[in-house]
Chains A and B, each alone.
Chain A
């Protein structure tokens, strides 16, 4: 999250933060939203023709694009019978006044790793099915996402974009590749006949902010700076927890459980939005 210690902020951003703080003390939010209300969510899938799967998600003014690619690769020695999933995200310099090009900073690394954990730990993809030759050739799946415009709550937005891109991706038919195992070197992965990706789960991340002992969901950029604490809680399809990350500040013991309950309720709401876009676990 940029703006730590009010660094790298524009004057108008600083003024917005002050206004957000003032309104919080009156029990209001700057865009007149309820404390537990998300901004408008828009999900478009298959927006990048050249990728195997893609999505553009907007959450208010936050915009994320995610893309999926498949390659043939060598499995990790400690998991010879599993495909490889690599989730990485960056905040592009287009995203805000303070965003910078260059290697990812610690906030971007945290963002990628929290999104990665949700997808990995929920076992959304059946990685054990992506093995072409045990210990030698597997599918390597790259899930890359980018923040195009930053108005806060990057984790929830990136998580939605990432799962939408994955769930709607068309992957190279593994049976075709297995049949042509002797000519692997001459296979162009992009030209292999495609089949839909099977997904086993849909992780849903919900980030909450805490200010004056009250929780808000879907914090804007200014709200992220104004709140005392931030926590992301990710649920699986069955309502299990699959990832938690305290991003900022602290919580009382009781507030941890309060946060989990709110995140669970909101996860159901986000799930139904995905479902309306045809994204669900079959």
Chain B
């Protein structure tokens, strides 16, 4: 019975949208990445580690991680004001907090690392897609990390638990559960929920989101591997 249930976009409850991650997409940044997840298109850039200003804010035992999650005015069907909303300020905070768990900030005392996330097109689950791209950008910048960070969402619509919540499902659904994890350390570093879920439904949703995150983790690794491959090709050309 339940196998026959199809979502608005034809997906099964436990089916992800198509996704693609590319690392090293911006020339100027120290590290960068781009993610496409359904119609989401998000770019992340890392600048640093660099000297932190103003000086009085410096932390003497570790680096400061700055993070900005931002949606461009044309990313949503109704124009969004370019100035950061309360939602964006909250999401910047929880994304930073999640990345801080992975980045070894103690390596760079008195410095700062900036992570800029720009949502060019939003299609639901932007925060978890953002964090997935941001972690790849940090790795691309060569910043030491304990693990990657990868996110995925689950939710509930018409009483059914689903993975990778799309825009329509976010608006019309009964619950949304975005999570991000460190996949090898098996730790949850971002966890939010809104809507209504019983404990049982939560368990089901959480497990689905975890599965989705591990799929995206493989794609993160692929993206980073192909950067290394490209570098090897270039080095080979240099030698010739």
Contacts and interface: CB of A to CB of B under 8 A. Distances in A.
A113 B191 contact: no
Nearest to B199: A260
B188 A251 contact: yes
A5 B188 CA distance: 22
Interface residues of A, number: 34
Interface in B39-69: 57, 59, 64
A158 to B, nearest CB: 15
Contacts of B92: 106
Contacts, number: 88
A153 interface: no
A199 interface: no
Interface residues of B, number: 33
Contact of A110 (B90, B193, B202): B90
B90 A244 contact: no
A117 B188 CA distance: 21
A242 interface: yes
A85 to B, nearest CB: 14
A257 B93 CA distance: 24
Given A250-B182, A252-B188, A113 B202 contact: no
Nearest to B101: A250
B187 A252 contact: yes
A264 interface: yes
B194 interface: yes
Contacts of B59: 5
Given A106-B89, A113-B86, A121 B189 contact: no
A232 B195 CA distance: 15
Contacts of B195: 121, 242
A20 interface: no
Contacts of B94: 110, 245-246
Interface of A: 5, 7, 106-107, 109-110, 112-113, 117, 120-122, 231, 236, 239-253, 255-257, 260, 264
